Structure 1
Amino acid sequence: MKSKYILWKILFEINKEFYEILVNLYGHKKNVIILNESAENIKEVIKKYNIKRVDYIVSGLPFTSLPKEVSEKILKNTADVLKDHGKFITFQYSMVKKKLFKKFFPSVSTKRTLANIPPAYVLSCNN
């Protein structure tokens, strides 16, 4: 029996040059969507592609350097599109914004990784 479940990978990149690099590297891959826009628009994007809810979102956004309004919109929209028991995973170089993540996700666990240079924190946020 064939599954109707499709594994989509949606990449958001606002930097035009990096966006073009991503298109060249991954644009030919099946079920990969690469967009030159902000992750703030995730709700509109998944609606456009007829995706109801998502299981996982992985982010490398530097929330400590983003404007508060942008960070809050991204996190709110991320929480809204995740399925029940969905997970938002991000890495940060400090724990300065941990309270912000807790504002949108009831469960936030952290793990420090020394494998990254400089060392970073991996935050797993669950609905």
Structure 2
Amino acid sequence: MGGESGDPKFDSNRRTSPAAFFLGFLREPRQVGSVIPSSRFLEQRIVEASNLSAARRVVELGPGTGGTTRTFLKHLAQDAHLLSIELSPYFHELLGEIADPRFTNHLGSAENLAEILALHGMGQPDVIISGIPFSKMPEAVGTVVAQAVKNSLAEDGRFIAYQFRRDVASITGPIMGAPASCTLELRNIPPMWVYSWFKTADA
């Protein structure tokens, strides 16, 4: 067992099961974009869009039970850091079982991204990945989140959003411009759109 300590793939796999995810959906349906966890195909598409192996500071918004979080940690360098921001106390508790020194688990709202980064002494992220369902939040809140993402990202940083609806594009577009890419992953329930934006000097 000692050889498994600290490896995210071995930490509380039972907690990342579909049953645990579905329970979280029942508790707070407006905060969860799906009733089951992301598929490995969707996770791989997000990893590729994020270029995680080259990132050193990564923020995950709405990590849920931590299935995606564990996948991201497998692809991050040993000197990288991953900060997850989760609004649901239930999911936040599950995320607390991930034992990895590169991981920080924060209970709070993505609206307060700048303050949360400052609290944890984290510089501007190279990558921000969002699984929070923009289609389920008031447009004004989504706009605040998108603006916080833009303000917080490092120059040339990436914002990756995976969504089952396309509301994120209409909300983020006026703030960060047209997405650099948008692909549909059909091997997920439900199928998910994966958007990517780059923060440029004139964005």
Contact 1:101 1:125 in 2 (8 A): no
Q: 1:31 aligns with which of 92, 99, 102?
A: 102
> Does residue 119 in structure 1 map to residue 187 in structure 2?
no
> Does residue 40 in structure 1 map to residue 111 in structure 2?
yes
SS of 1:84's partner is coil
SS of 1:54's partner is coil
SS of 1:83's partner is coil
> Does residue 18 in structure 1 map to residue 91 in structure 2?
yes
Structure 1 residues 73-82 or 45-54, which shifts more? 45-54
Higher strand share goes to which structure?
Answer: 1
Structure 2 stretches lacking a partner, 5+ long: 1-55, 57-78
Give 1:110 shift: 0.6
Report percent identity of matched pairs.
25
Tell me which residue corresponds to 2:170: 99
TM-score in terms of structure 2 length: 0.56
- How far does the alpha carbon of each residue in 1:86-118 deviate from its partner, in whole angstroms, 9 at most, with x for none? 001011112234121211212402111112122
SS of 1:75's partner is helix
Contact 1:107 1:126 in 2 (8 A): no
Give 1:31 shift: 2.4
Q: Residues 44 and 110 from structure 1, CA distance in 2 versus in 1: closer, same or farther, beyond 3 angstroms?
A: same
RMSD of aligned Cα (Å): 1.5
TM-score in terms of structure 1 length: 0.87
What does 1:49-60 correspond to in 2, within 5 Å? 49-60=120-131
In 2, Cα distance between equivalents of 1:114 and 1:34: 30
Structure 1 stretches lacking a partner, 5+ long: none
Tell me which residue corresponds to 2:133: 62
